[in-house]
A = this chain, B = another copy of it.
Amino acid sequence: MLRDLVKRTRTYRRFYQEEAIDTSTLHELVDLARLAGSARNVQPLKYVVINEPSACVTIFPHLGWAGYLPDWPCPGEGERPSAYIICVLDTTIASEADCDLGIATQNILLGATEIGLGGCRIASISPKLHNDLDLSDHLKILLVLALGKPKEQVVIDAMDQDGDCQYWRDQDQIHHVPKRSLEDIIIKTDL
């Protein structure tokens, strides 16, 4: 059932790094993005798929992790992603793709959950990654999906009344994500 899949599709930042993800699996996940709706059907998103360990080593230092966890700079060696799907805007097709980006990456992350994987949308990306990927000038990196077999527990909590949205880790390293209530986000039913 989709609701169960949606609930389990959380943001994961620590992985069993030794668990490889093969290329065909990554291509199947990108195919879920390909089959998604696209504004005016222009489909301006393209993808770079990375799973070679040496290539992962190249990508990793370009990424910024978990802004709300100042004491945790990034996943340590052994807990890093074993694959990446890098989402790129083809600027010869469209000048932006932000809603498309959400649609496409949600399909990918739901698909990852279904096969026991998980991941994280990373928007904090060094401009040098473009160079390391040897991308043409008309291709603009929008987001990096870090993927792997999750090695952490993530739970959804009810948001406190003070509206603090910052995620946090408890002493058992369980990652807590406060979510607004349904009553808070449905502002009106009918007129």
Contacts and interface: CB of A to CB of B under 8 A. Distances in A.
Given A5-B2, A114-B1, A165-B42, A189 B23 contact: yes
B111 A102 contact: no
Interface in A36-56: 36-37, 39-43, 45-52, 54-55
How many copies the complex holds: the figure is 2
A105 B190 CA distance: 19
A100 B55 CA distance: 29
A32 B182 CA distance: 10
B49 A188 contact: yes
Interface centre among A11, A34, A105, A177 (most CB of B within 10 A): A34
Given A48-B188, A190-B49, A165 B2 contact: no
Contacts of A167: 41
Contact of A32 (B3, B31, B67): B3
A133 B191 CA distance: 6
Given A11-B37, A45-B185, A102-B103, 4 more contacts: A34-B180, A36-B106, A43-B165, A99-B99
Interface of A: 1-3, 5-7, 9-11, 23, 26-28, 30-37, 39-43, 45-52, 54-55, 58, 67-68, 88, 96, 98-107, 109-111, 114, 121, 123, 132-135, 139, 143, 156, 165-167, 177-182, 185-191
